[in-house]
Amino acid sequence: MSSYATVDPTTGETLQTFDTLTDHQVHEVLDRSAEAYRAWRATELSSRAAVLQRVADLYRERSEELAALTTLEMGKPLAESRGEVALAASIYEYYATRGPAYLVDEELEIAGTGTAVVRTEPLGPLVGIMPWNFPWYQVARFAAPNLLLGNTILLKHAPNCPQQALAMAELFTDAGLAPGVYVNVFASNDQVADMIASPVVQGVSLTGSERAGIAVGEVAGRNLKKYVLELGGSDPFLVLASADVDAAVAAAVPGRLFNGGQACTSSKRFIVHADHYDRFVAGLSAGMTGWGMGDPTAEGTKLGPMSSIRARDDLQAQVQDAVDAGAQVHVGGRPGDAPGAWFPPTVLTGVTPQMRAYREELFGPAAVVYRVDTTAEAVRLANDSAYGLAASVFTGDETEAQQVAEDLETGMVWINATSRSAADLPFGGVKRSGVGRELGRFGLEEFCNKKLVRRP
């Protein structure tokens, strides 16, 4: 039976299933991608950019229907779904308008006579493995720069958003992309591993879990393929002694609950100076309780269900493990009796290193708050994690802000704000949060051939 299915997260009801590829079809799509690459890389850069601009335009024209699919398949509130579609459109437009300037030949200053130029050229067909939490945005940050470069793409989307995957492929076709340049594949994990290993494929990009990243990295490394891995995060949110605690609370609530808390860069570990601790815990608990959980199709809803019943159960197990070991629940803590993947906003304190919630990413609407006495202690706790994606630092001291930003072991740091993505900002982490960068100029430099052309 196919694992690709639309399952309503508000009820748990399976609405529609989709067939996976046969092994023969896998070989066919590999051949199609390779054939399309020869023509696509030879297409004028201006023409490739024009297709991306048309993609951006279609995202905007179809915003309501695309947003409705996201709300249907993963439970994202409509307002957030519309916002994600708009963000995806901005990424395609960014690479259509700004990207060509990044691909201009670079002349090197060299010793001796003659010239040396570095050209930025495509590599070939790429495999993309994308998650369910931001179905349009995650694909955009991989697909847009690589389509501009001249690479072709075989895209495996998450099994629980097949209708979005199909709508995306249709949109690319309607934008004028030639057949085989972007191919949606409903493939099994074993089939994807075979694709990565194929001589046709030159690289793979995964956004997903740490476990998936290890599996993909192993296959890619064994076959000498370039890879980018954007994995999990357990992002710290530091509230230091000089911080405006009211501003910190106001940022913390959406920072934890945006997208139902199901974002790699959600603020998850709140590390608060003792002077602000009690006030912060009270404010965060009140703010999260009042966030407005309800029907995701209704205007005004801020928090819908989690993406799946399995995701809800995984979060519940992590929270219960902490509670059983002595952590305190200030609000939430247990799902109700309603069918579907509902989980209430939850605030935990008293979490210790022996608990799963200390080491693991809580991928849902649950926050952990820690009390510290000094800035140095806050930084040590923030860095005591296998992850290193993003961090937020709330402080009224600019010198302290710069020093803490330098000391944090993360790929991104936000001062007096929470992490937000934009087309022109590089995205990526360190440690077990992944390898490589996406977006901005950096998104064009991961899957390219920096070719030297030397003339004496």
Catalytic residues: 230, 264
Cα–Cα dist 149/142, whole Å: 11
Give the C-alpha separation, 203 to 285, whole Å: 44
C-alpha neighbours within 13 Å on the C-beta side of residue 204: 31
Residue with tokens 């023409």: 47
Please give the single-letter amino acid code of residue 220: A
**Cα(355)–Cα(333) distance, integer angstroms:** 15
**Could you give phi then psi for residue 128, rounded to 5 degrees?**
-115, 130
**339 secondary structure, DSSP code:** S
Closest CA to 164 of 75, 294, 259: 75
- Where would I find the H helices in 75-134? 78-97, 99-102
Residue-wise DSSP of 357-369: HHHS---SSEEEE
Beta-carbon contacts of 348 under 8 Å, excluding residues fewer than 6 positions away, are 319, 322, 323, 327, 328, 329, 330, 333, 357, 366, 367, 368, 369
**b/e map of 2-34 (b: 16 or more CB within 10 Å)?**
eebbbbbbbeeeeeeeeebbeeeebeebbebbb
The most distant pair of C-alpha atoms in the chain lies apart, rounded to whole Å, by 77
**Tokens 């290890």 sit at which residue?**
214
Side chain identity at 40, as an amino acid letter?
W
State the sign of the Cα–Cα–Cα–Cα dihedral 75, 77, 81, 87. Answer: negative
**Residue 189: closest CA among 204, 179, 173:** 204
Helix (DSSP H) and strand (DSSP E) numbers for the chain = 15, 20
Query: What CA–CA distance (Å, rounded) separates 363 from 306?
Result: 9
